[in-house]
Structure 1
Amino acid sequence: METIGFTENQMTVREAVATLCAKFPNSYWQEHDQHEQDPKEFHAALAKDGWLGIALPEELGGSGLGISEATMMMQAIAESGAGMAGAQSIHGNVYATQPLARFGNQEQREGTIPKIISGEWRTCFGVTEPNTGLDTLRLRTLAQKSADGQLYSVTGQKIWITCAQVARKMMLLARTTPLEEVKKPSEGLSLFCIDLDRENTPGLDMRKIKKMGGRAVDANEVFFDNYPIPADTLIGAENQGFKIILQGMNAERCLLAGEALGLGYAAVARATGYARERVVFGRPIGANQGIAHPLADAYMRLEAAKHATYHAARLYDQSQSTGDASSKVRQGAVGVAANTAKYLAAEAAFTACERAVLTHGGMGYAVEYDVERWLRECLVPRIAPVSREMVMNYIGEKVLGLPRSY
């Protein structure tokens, strides 16, 4: 990757994280993928060196850096060979905490964020539901307040919740006003930072989902059945959760774009190394334009997506600035940039990973060369947290002014 134009902080992050990741070779990730083992040693190593707090306030034990630096960290992790599995083992701790850090009260922030940064607690993001999918505004999980106002009772189901099996906390988006009683679907949603306590609190169940890639991290269906949560777990104002959670959603798109870039650059590097060394018909296969041109094209796609990704991350950080309000970037611009970056990086990663497998020929199918694992994982950013088609719908409506299609 060409690194001209990055800040000193970004390059320092890239180099330090790459050094740490070198302690976890590809064999580590192959084994954890095959046996579906959580990479707890990797998570602990990042926590020990303070990386989980990269974009969290210094007064809470974080580094006080931005999503620009966090995106570089996630790219370096994926690029090291850890792929999406390595990135997903920690990225929820980075983006899911952004709404808490910005909108939580002092007690919530001080009681939760330092323990996430230290690695004592892990967190997950509870938004997606099986019957609404990408239609977030129509989710049905209901949090009903008790008569004395001390508790909420949560009933509903979430799906594709990464790391729920190992998480202590969940950032939960739920309805506090039923959909039928609001004027607009964006109203009536509230955000909570809750404990996941299956052992001592009834009404909570989790079921792991067997999946194609990223097997080292768990994905889950989470069921709530009158699960009690304290009223003081509410983040910000009741019924204002959707506006609050956008802080985490745009951050997530930036981080995921960085992860996709890392995966793509790793794939191109592995493929070009193989193409230089593999000799067929008396010469390296990389001398053939049928091999060289697809890889060169994949690299250029990654470079273009890289610029879009770090542009989006920079806008996100500017939108969070505490300086002159008139200089802040509006959230709509951040949303457009973050969705664009996520789309372009995911497509570039898919192109790179597919061509890496094809460059290896039959050996691209072998576990030991890693490219088959990366190909399985590169489908994640094309699908989540929002599909390619929904990104195009969003750009069509918000940027091009076309009629809404959904």
Structure 2
Amino acid sequence: MQSTHDPYQDVRDAIRSLVAQLPGDYFRRVDEQNGYPEEFVHALTQAGWLAALVPQEYGGSGLGLAEASVIMEEINRCGGNAGACHGQMYNMNTLLRHGSKAQKERYMPGIATGELRLQSMAVTEPTTGTDTTRLKTTAVKKGDRYVVNGQKVWISRVQHSELMILLARTTPVDQVARRSDGMSIFLVDVKAATGKGMTVRPISNMVNHETNELFFDNLEIPAENLIGEEGKGFKYLLDGLNAERTLVAAECIGDAHWFIEKIVKYASERVVFDRPIGKNQGVQFPIARAWINLQAADLMRFKATSLFDAGQPCGAEANMAKLLAADVSWEAANACIQFHGGFGFATEYDVERKFRETRLYQVAPISTNMILSYVAEHVLGLPRSF
């Protein structure tokens, strides 16, 4: 189930070889311990894979989003979970695209080597959710500092990051022409901030995904850590989301491959009533439909990466790729766990773990309903629904 004319086969082979060096039950053990795959992330970092999108002038590989997406895909296809480290791949885009020359020279080389992990982006708040323009966290400039107060939620990988991107309102909403104006992006030194104005509270969840609630109480951030111009943070944020959504789409595509390969093998070998269960059309058809939908999601993923790498607008394609891929990974997950029967719920088969992991992408980093709203308004020209 792999094309013989794949231009990314070398990347795929390298990631598969790297994952194969870990014990067979590695990811299962990490999940059972509610741990973090330090050994795996370190291996990816040392091999330079997480610096794929960093330009060569800063020590990265300077690859395109297409290659980066294949890296994420293969991690999940091999049974891993790229969600533990994918932020390092795309969060730096905000700094790279909108940071000053001095900021990039100071931070990008360390991000490329992994010495500085920029895995975390603090945007979502408990009372606003995806209605980002109504966020309540404020950053007030006082001399050469910004003083931050507020709260964030579902902020991932803070405990495994040296740096964090923070979105806060610098101009009150009643003083701007549009709600999307007056927000700014800051680079936060996580270690310096923790316990000195920022409190990190872990959130236990069903996916073993390191995520947290953050509380800001007069956190001081040097003014030099402002990225770009004050008040244009929301625009900068949107600029980097196309890469995020496309890479997450690739992870879902990897998950879908894993589920389909797993259930095809099992259904071919599992004999009930003197015949392999894969001989039954009731089993065949859901798997075949998932495979067909996977091909469509894959095409949209590469359409999005092609536009992104060419510097062309790709918001619609990135969003559609994410929706198609998240839907097919969930479709394949359901077929896989259903046809494994009771064994699908046994941890040793890894199906239930991957089932939990891929369910997240119906909700994050953008829900499927938000994508439908985007397409309805921005592609089809329907009236704005909210």
TM-score normalised by length of structure 2: 0.97
1:104 to 99, 103, 110: 99
Equivalents in 2 of 1:359, 1:247: separation in Å? 41
Note if contact 1:55-1:64 (Cα within 8 Å) is conserved in structure 2.
Answer: yes
Work out the CA distance in 2 between the residues paired with 1:24 and 1:350.
Answer: 26
Structure-2 residue corresponding to 1:224: 216
| AA at the equivalent of 1:135 | D
Provide the C-alpha distance between the structure 1 equivalents of 2:83 and 2:101, rounded to a whole number of angstroms: 28
Matched, 1:197 2:191: yes
- Aligned counterpart for 1:128 among listed residues 113, 124, 145: 124
**Cα distance, 1:317 vs. partner?**
1.4
Alignment map for 1:123-202 (pairs within 5 Å):
123=118, 124-146=120-142, 148=143, 150-197=144-191, 202=196
SS of 2:114 mapped into structure 1:
coil
State the superposition RMSD in angstroms. 1.4
Deviation at 1:4, TM superposition (A): 6.0
Asked whether 1:3 is paired with 2:3, we answer yes
Alpha-carbon offset, residue 16 of structure 1: 1.0
Mapped partners of 1:2, 1:396: distance in 2: 34
Residue 188 of structure 1: CA displacement? 0.5
Structure 1 residue 201, shift from structure 2 partner: 5.4
Structure 2: which 5+ runs fail to align? Answer: none
Q: Give the alignment partner of residue 255 of structure 1, picking from 227, 247, 262.
A: 247
2:62 matched residue in structure 1: 64
Q: Per-residue deviation at 1:18?
A: 1.6
SS state at 1:160 partner: strand
Matched, 1:339 2:334: no
Runs of 4+ in 1 over 4 A off after TM superposition: 198-201
In 2, the alpha carbon distance for the partners of 1:11 and 1:66 equals 15
Q: Distance in 1 between matches of 2:124 and 2:4?
A: 38
Cα distance in 2, alignment partners of residues 199 and 152 from structure 1: 13
Look up the SS of the partner of 1:378 in the other structure. helix
The answer to which structure, 1 or 2, has the higher relative contact order (CA under 8 A, 6+ apart) is 1
- What's the offset of the Cα at 1:25? 4.4
Letter in 2 for 1:224: F
SS in 2 for 1:227: strand
Q: Does the CA contact (< 8 Å) of 2:250 and 2:325 recur in 1?
A: yes
Contact in 1 for aligned 2:193/2:219 (Cα 8 Å): no
| Structure 1 CA distance for aligned equivalents of residues 183 and 230 of structure 2 | 7
Assess, with a 3 A threshold, how the Cα gap between structure 1 residues 342 and 26 changes in structure 2: closer, same or farther: farther
Provide, for residues 282-337 of structure 1, a one-character-per-residue CA deviation record: whole Å limited to 9, x for no partner.
12111111111111111111111111111111111112xxxxxxxxx23xxx1111
Equivalent of residue 27 in structure 2, options 26, 29, 32: 29
CA distance in 1, matches of 2:258, 2:225: 41
| 3-state SS of 2:339 partner | helix
Alignment of 1:252-331 (within 5 A): 252-319=244-311, 329-330=312-313
Cα deviation per residue 1:56-90 (whole Å; 9 max; x = unaligned)? Answer: 110101000111111111000011101xxx30121
Pairing partner for 1:239 from 231, 234, 252: 231
Q: Is the 8 A contact 1:26 1:370 kept in 2?
A: no
3-state SS, counterpart of residue 197 of structure 1: helix
In structure 2, the residue matched to 1:324 is none
Does structure 2 conserve the Cα–Cα contact (< 8 Å) formed by 1:159 and 1:222?
yes
- Pick closer, same or farther for the CA change 1:36–1:71 going to 2, 3 Å: same
What's the CA shift string for 1:215-252, capped at 9, x where partnerless?
Answer: 1x411011111101111111111111111122321110
For 1:50, the equivalent position in structure 2 comes to 48
- For residues 24 and 224 of structure 1, the distance between their equivalents in structure 2, rounded to whole angstroms, comes to 39
Segments of structure 1 that go 5 or more residues without pairing to the other structure are 320-328
1:201 & 1:212 partners in 2: Cα distance? 27
**TM score, norm. by length of structure 1:** 0.92
Separation in 2, partners of 1:152, 1:24:
44
- State the one-letter code of the partner of 2:167: L
| 2:358 is aligned with 1:362 | no
Equivalent residues, number:
385
Q: Which amino acid aligns with 2:310?
A: Q
Give percent identity, aligned residues only.
Answer: 43
1:92-132 per-residue CA deviation (whole Å, 9 max, x = no partner) reads: 01110011112112221122222222222222111111111
